[in-house]
C-alpha cells in the first residue's frame, strides 16, 4: 500500500502587523471637531463684535442734534437710525458695490467750530441691534480729539429717521469673522470626513489581508486518503 506523506507542520505564528489608518482616523476626527468648534467660535466672536459696536455708537436726535465725543483723530462713520423693537433679530450687512444711502444732510463742526466735510462712501452698511436699525450716510475725518457738534440741516429722507449715530465701532471685520466661521468650519469638516473615510477604508483592507495571512494554507486532515486515480492511469506497484 502506498504510504501517505505526513502533512507539513503549520507555519509559526507571526506577530500581528500594525494596521494602517489609525493615525488618519484620529486626524480626521480632530479636523471635524476643530471645524465645528472653531467655526462656532468665529461666528460667535463676529456676531458679538457687530453687536458691541452698535451699542457703543454715540447718538443725537434728528430734531435737535447734539454733541459727540471723538477720542482720537481718524475716520468716523455716520449713520441714520430709526427705532425698532428691541426683540427684533440682530443683523448686519455690508456691501462694497452698492446699496441704499439715505438722503440726510448734516452739519458737523469740530471742537474749534470749523465745519467738517462728510464724504459719501461707496457701497452700503446696515445693522439692526439694540432697538435700532441703521444705515450708513458717510464718514468724516476727525482731525483732532474733542467735542463735535452734529446737526441735521435737510434732506428728503429726514422724516424716515429718529436719530443720527456716530462712531467707528461698527466694523466689517465682524461680518468677515462670521463668514470665516461658516466657510472655514465647513471646509475643515469636509476635509476631516474625507481623511476619516480614507483611513477607515485602509484599515478595512489591512484587516482582510491580515486575516488571510493568519489562516495560512489549507492542508488535508491526518489520515486522509487521496481519491483513486482515474481509469487508465498507471499505478505504482506496492
Instruction: Give the separation between CA 42 and CA 123, rounded to whole angstroms.
Output: 25
Give the relative orientation of helices 22-55 and 173-215 as an angle to the nearest 10 degrees: 170
Residue 151 has pLDDT above 60, yes or no: yes
DSSP-assigned beta bridge partners for residue 107: 151
pLDDT grade, residue 44 (50/70/90)? confident
Assess contact for 154 and 65: CB atoms under 8 A.
no
What percentage of the chain reaches a pLDDT higher than 70? Answer: 73
pLDDT grade, residue 167 (50/70/90)? confident
Assess contact for 99 and 122: CB atoms under 8 A.
no
Q: What is the pLDDT of residue 50?
A: 64
| Domain residue extents for the chain | 19-56+172-208, 57-168
Q: Which residue has the higher pLDDT, 63 or 174?
A: 63
Q: What is the pLDDT of residue 156?
A: 92
SS3 content of the chain, % helix, strand, coil (to 5): 35, 25, 40
**What are the residues whose beta carbons fall under 8 Å from the beta carbon of 55, sequence distance 6 or more?**
129, 130
DSSP 19: P
Q: Which residue has the higher pLDDT, 98 or 126?
A: 126
Place of cell 484587516: 207
Residue 16 has pLDDT above 90, yes or no: no
Amino acid at each position: 500500500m502506498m504510504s501517505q506523506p505526513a502533512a507539513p507542520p503549520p507555519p509559526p505564528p507571526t506577530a500581528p502587523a500594525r494596521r494602517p489608518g489609525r493615525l488618519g482616523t484620529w486626524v480626521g476626527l480632530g479636523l471635524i471637531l476643530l471645524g465645528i468648534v472653531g467655526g462656532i467660535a468665529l461666528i460667535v466672536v463676529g456676531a458679538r463684535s457687530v453687536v458691541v459696536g452698535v451699542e457703543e455708537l454715540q447718538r443725537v436726535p434728528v430734531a435737535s442734534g447734539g454733541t459727540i465725543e471723538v477720542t482720537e483723530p481718524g475716520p468716523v462713520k455716520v449713520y441714520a437710525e430709526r427705532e425698532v423693537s428691541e426683540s427684533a433679530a440682530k443683523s448686519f450687512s455690508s456691501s462694497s458695490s452698492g446699496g441704499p444711502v439715505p438722503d440726510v444732510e448734516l452739519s458737523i463742526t469740530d471742537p474749534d467750530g470749523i465745519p467738517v466735510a462728510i464724504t459719501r462712501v461707496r457701497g452700503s452698511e446696515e445693522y439692526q441691534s439694540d432697538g435700532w436699525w441703521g444705515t450708513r450716510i458717510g464718514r468724516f475725518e476727525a482731525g483732532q480729539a474733542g467735542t463735535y457738534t452734529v446737526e441735521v440741516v435737510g434732506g428728503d429722507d429726514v422724516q424716515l429717521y429718529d436719530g443720527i449715530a456716530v462712531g467707528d465701532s461698527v466694523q466689517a471685520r465682524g461680518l468677515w469673522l462670521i463668514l470665516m466661521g461658516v466657510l472655514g468650519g465647513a471646509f475643515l469638516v469636509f476635509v476631516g470626513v474625507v481623511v476619516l473615510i480614507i483611513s477607515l477604508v485602509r484599515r478595512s483592507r489591512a484587516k482582510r489581508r491580515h486575516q488571510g495571512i493568519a489562516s495560512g494554507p489549507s492542508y488535508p486532515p491526518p489520515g486522509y486518503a487521496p481519491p483513486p486515480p482515474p481509469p487508465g492511469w498507471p499505478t505504482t506497484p506496492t
